[in-house]
Amino acid sequence: MSAALQLKNLTLGYDRHPAVHHLSGTVETGALVAVVGPNGAGKSTLFKGIVGVIKPLSGQIDLGGLQAREIAYLPQAAEIDRSFPISVYDMVAMGLWHRTGLFGGIDRKARHEIERAIAAVGLNGFEGRPIATLSGGQTQRMLFARLLLQDARMIVLDEPFNAIDAKTMADLLDVVRRWHQEKRTVIAALHDIQLVKANFPQTLLLARQSVAWGDTAEVLTPENLLTARRMCEAFHDDAAACAAPLTAA
């Protein structure tokens, strides 16, 4: 299979301080990959690099020809402004921006797609609700409906099942499985080891650098998990800054 994503000696960070460093590996097209690691392991930083929110300090991210609009990104729940005065329907409809533009109209076909996406995540009847009134689980359902409308070839999910009820998690896992069956590339940051073992064939165990990357059963061993925890505990924020990145001529 072709590579959807290649990381080549990648270092990412902030103010030239590395949060992820010297990371190399390949995600094949259509793969279902979990990224696991202790708090502070660099999972969110890695995802921000993949979707282009931050640029590498060094190394490369090769998206195999994918354009930004072909990547759907779900950040952590804490990064979602739930106070924004918008309805569930309108928030889900934002998933069509890549096709309609920011001020594009919504025709009958688009309305049908929005309604179908809302139904697919079990939010029928919530279309007119302000997003501020939703529970955590309902908010994640809404955001998954928006992802469905993006119809992306790669989906990047940062802690998508954190602090939601078991029924919602099961329903959203079904959506992830459907994406996998459709040969879309799905990469998800997760902390529930048993959930990863049961549902994700491949795993990257990250502790600011790769501890192990490959088949989930071979990666998530007690020895590797202990190594990852110790590596993160050993890191300190006063580490020396990286050299300034080279700029293209």
- Domains in the chain: boundaries: 1-66+153-241, 79-152
What is the structure's pLDDT at 245? 36
For 224, the enclosing helix (H) or strand (E) is helix 222-234
Residue 202, strand partner residues: 33, 215
Please, what is the Cα angle at 214 between 209 and 219, to 5 degrees? 75
Distance CA 192, CA 116 (A): 30
Q: Could you give the CA distance from residue 159 to residue 162 in angstroms, rounded to a whole number?
A: 6
Backbone phi, then psi, for 199, in 5-degree steps?
Answer: -130, -15
* Coil, strand or helix at 97: helix
Please give the CATH topology (third level) of the domain spanning 1-66+153-241.
Rossmann fold (3.40.50)
| pLDDT at site 77 | 77
pLDDT at 12: 96
Per-residue model confidence (pLDDT) at position 64: 87
Per-residue burial over 44-82, b if 16 or more Cβ lie within 10 Å, else e, is bbbbbbbbeebebbbbebebbebeeebbbbbbebeebee
Alpha carbon 13 to its chain centroid, in Å, reads: 18
Whole-number pLDDT of residue 240 = 42
Q: How far apart, in Å, are the Cα atoms of 202 and each of 30, 84, 112, 222?
A: 12, 36, 35, 17
pTM of the model: 0.89
Walk along the chain (249 residues) in steps of 10 and give the mean pLDDT of each run: 88 89 96 95 96 95 87 86 88 84 72 95 96 94 96 96 93 97 97 96 97 97 95 64 35
Which pLDDT score is estimated for 82? 78
Q: Which residues pair with 3 in a beta bridge?
A: 28
User: Is 212 within 8 Å of 218 (Cβ atoms)?
Assistant: yes
Tell me the one-letter amino acid at 218. Answer: E
- H/E stretch holding 91 reads helix 88-93
